[in-house]
Structure 1
Amino acid sequence: MNNTIYWDKLRVLVTNYCNYKCPFCHNEGQSFDHTSQTMDLELFKMLIDALQDEDVSEITFSGGEPFLNEHLIEMIQYTSEKTDWEMSCASNLSLITKDQVLELAHIPLKFNIQFPYIEAEKFHHSTGGGSLDKVKDNIQMLRDAGLNIGLNCVIQRGSAEEVRSMIGYALKEELSVKLLPQIGLWGSQDFKTFVFPILEEYAISRKDKGTGAIRWVLEKDGHQISVLYIDSPCFIRDIERCKHYSEIRVLPDMRLQTCILHSENTVTLDLKMGKERVKQQFREAWKNLKSC
């Protein structure tokens, strides 16, 4: 194994549309042009074939809502067969079926579940119609199948009460949490001033990973969880931290995107030109990432 493409984290956006309408959504940096796109399965396989010998630490399947791509399970299975990369799936978990869970049960895949609130009414309003009870049922279905699960909570306003409730729920259910202050929201870069004291109440360890992420291990009443707070490089336009620790995104139409805030800065992968051409394009994308 080696790393000639410099990026070690890939985020594959297998679709650009979603069944939720979350007001805080940045659509993983994709443009909102109302044209539905899904990634082609054969092109995806060509991408994996081109990069399978690279030292990639993680590949994340995302969207939009990835389960709106009918080939998602095949994509995950193909990646598992061809690579030893860590795999995760960022989903709102509203569409997964029991049959799909059974197909994934023996694959080392982590689900990062979009989970904005633990109150049903706020959840329904924030997602534009989502059902908290249905998502909770699907979480249990994944747990019963032995799949790894974490919650992704976008902090949409400076509310200590809502963060405290989320942490309390996660501790009770022993679910890891990623707290993501909403990028582009005024004042969100300072949410840590009220979030950190809440985490410190239950903390048994804390580690700054140097990537814009701070990791806590929390414990209460015999329950222990990991909490990751994302102090995004976007807040301070730290290009060096971003360049060395961020992901590169592959959009549904096979364009490479280096910056989540600039969807126009892309290049289309020449998958039919062979592995070395594809790797060269990844290297060029790294070289051309010079400013926020």
Structure 2
Amino acid sequence: MAEPNEALPSPLTDAHGRTVRYLRISVTDRCNLCCRYCRDDSVPFIPHENILRFEEIEQIIEAAIELGVHKLRFTGGEPFARKGFLDFLIKIHRRFPQVALKLTSNGTLLAPALETLRDIGVSVNLSLDSLDREKYAAITGKDMLPVVLDNMHRMLDLGIPLKINAVAMRGINDNELPALAAMAMDWPVDVRFIEFMPMGDSTIWSNNLFWPAADILEEARRHWTLEPVALRRKDGQENEGQAAEERGPAKLWKLKDEKGRVSKGSFGLITSVTQSFCQSCNRLRLTAEGNLRTCLFDDREYPIRDVMRKKGMDEVKRIMIDAVARKPVGAEILAASHGPVAHKRMSAIGG
């Protein structure tokens, strides 16, 4: 399959001039953990018969690539909680070798897949909110921190591109910033703190738990000198557009300690609440049950599972184009909200 021609206008461009190049795919809503900020264990999982089949996800990927998407991220729940996911990932790599493949995982089930992830060039975002074993168990519902850390070190040894995501929660993991961020000193990883978003009707989000990026940054500066990271093109020139594309929503800094040692990785902030990055959003989401979601904060979804089963992929592509054309600005939804910005919990959306 030919790569999309970047010089031509993309059909996946919205009314605000933003072009979708990035599809996030939730392959399952199931997870072996129950993180307090993500999933409510009183809500039942989606019945298996309502989940998209892998063959259907492959068809949707093909359609998205034909419309200009060139990056895929697989999420859950926990992607490896779905049987056959690794074989599916291998198939997608072989069929669409030109597409960047990325994965978000809690790290507990990765061990059997690590060499394969390295071989097919998948980069991993590891969700890790605490390095304290008791606290990790309290947040996730499972005492699995040693397993996660072992898999993290194996990924580093194998050279798998790795980012670490921590949801920032005041009074829960705010005292762990030095330990979490220090991982970037010794290893080539981006350690990103994500502002806790008020997502879902039963969210535990509150003003007391919310730890804003400005305060996180101030705390980091107590421990290190921070030097902003500017991504560069292969010819060495800075390119803000490319930087936004490659880095996504994160603002990154190199850490410099009192001895003048500079970090191998970077410290990052994802300011989902206090400093919107909606103006550069290039994402489209596919939920596990087969709905397109154009904005994390907007509950409007476009069902395509039954459409593709009854009417075929031309109609699915039409819906994709129409959905993106109507893509809202999430910051406006957040500003107008007086409670959770979406009824669905993160586990049901796919992050």
TM above 0.5, one fold? yes
For the pair 1:281 / 2:319, whether they are aligned, the reply is yes
Could you tell me how far apart the structure 2 residues matched to 1:179 and 1:73 are?
28
Could you tell me how far apart the structure 1 residues matched to 2:160 and 2:174 are?
30
The CA deviation string for residues 204-232 of structure 1, in whole angstroms up to 9 with x for no partner, is 22469677532222244353212331111
For the pair 1:105 / 2:105, whether they are aligned, the reply is no
Deviates more, 1:128-137 or 1:191-200: 191-200
The CA deviation string for residues 91-111 of structure 1, in whole angstroms up to 9 with x for no partner, is 00101233x223322111111
For the pair 1:34 / 2:41, whether they are aligned, the reply is no
Could you tell me how far apart the structure 2 residues matched to 1:194 and 1:243 are?
24
For the pair 1:166 / 2:180, whether they are aligned, the reply is yes
**Native 8 Å contact 1:259 1:265 kept in 2:** no
Equivalence for 2:288: 252
Could you tell me how far apart the structure 1 residues matched to 2:22 and 2:132 are?
33
For the pair 1:4 / 2:17, whether they are aligned, the reply is no
Q: Give the partner amino acid of 1:107.
A: I
**Equivalent of 2:167 in 128, 149, 154:** 154
**Equivalent of 2:303 in 261, 267, 285:** 267
Query: Percent of aligned positions with the same letter in both sequences?
Result: 20
Taking a change above 3 Å as real, the CA distance of residues 33 and 287 of structure 1, as seen in their structure-2 partners, is farther
Where does structure 2 lack aligned partners over 5 or more consecutive residues? 14-19, 199-204, 231-239, 334-351
Where does structure 1 lack aligned partners over 5 or more consecutive residues? none
**Native 8 Å contact 2:184 2:267 kept in 1:** no
The CA deviation string for residues 50-99 of structure 1, in whole angstroms up to 9 with x for no partner, is 2333432421100101101112212322222233222211100101233x
Could you tell me how far apart the structure 1 residues matched to 2:75 and 2:107 are?
12
How do residues 124-163 of structure 1 correspond to structure 2 at under 5 angstroms? 124-157=137-170, 160-163=174-177
Could you tell me how far apart the structure 2 residues matched to 1:26 and 1:169 are?
27
Alpha-carbon offset, residue 289 of structure 1: 2.6
Equivalence for 1:91: 105
Could you state the TM-score of these two structures normalised by the residue count of structure 2?
Answer: 0.72
**Native 8 Å contact 2:130 2:180 kept in 1:** yes
Equivalence for 1:16: 29
Larger strand percent: 1
**Equivalent of 2:250 in 213, 228, 234:** 213
Equivalence for 2:269: 229
**Native 8 Å contact 1:50 1:274 kept in 2:** no
RMSD over equivalenced CA pairs, Å: 2.8
Equivalence for 2:343: none
Deviates more, 1:216-225 or 1:1-10: 216-225
Taking a change above 3 Å as real, the CA distance of residues 222 and 243 of structure 1, as seen in their structure-2 partners, is closer
Equivalence for 1:65: 78
Equivalence for 2:206: 186
What count of residue pairs does the alignment treat as equivalent? 284
Could you tell me how far apart the structure 2 residues matched to 1:285 and 1:266 are?
7
Deviates more, 1:11-20 or 1:100-109: 100-109
Q: Give the partner amino acid of 1:4.
A: P
Secondary structure at 2:137 match in 1: helix
Alpha-carbon offset, residue 198 of structure 1: 3.7
Could you tell me how far apart the structure 2 residues matched to 1:227 and 1:26 are?
27
Alpha-carbon offset, residue 139 of structure 1: 1.3
Q: Give the partner amino acid of 1:259.
A: C
Could you tell me how far apart the structure 1 residues matched to 2:213 and 2:80 are?
32
Secondary structure at 2:29 match in 1: coil
Deviates more, 1:201-210 or 1:190-199: 201-210
Could you tell me how far apart the structure 2 residues matched to 1:105 and 1:41 are?
22
Taking a change above 3 Å as real, the CA distance of residues 213 and 150 of structure 1, as seen in their structure-2 partners, is closer
Deviates more, 1:163-172 or 1:14-23: 163-172
**Native 8 Å contact 2:12 2:325 kept in 1:** no
Could you tell me how far apart the structure 1 residues matched to 2:314 and 2:274 are?
35
For the pair 1:50 / 2:63, whether they are aligned, the reply is yes
**Native 8 Å contact 2:185 2:264 kept in 1:** yes
Could you tell me how far apart the structure 1 residues matched to 2:53 and 2:304 are?
14
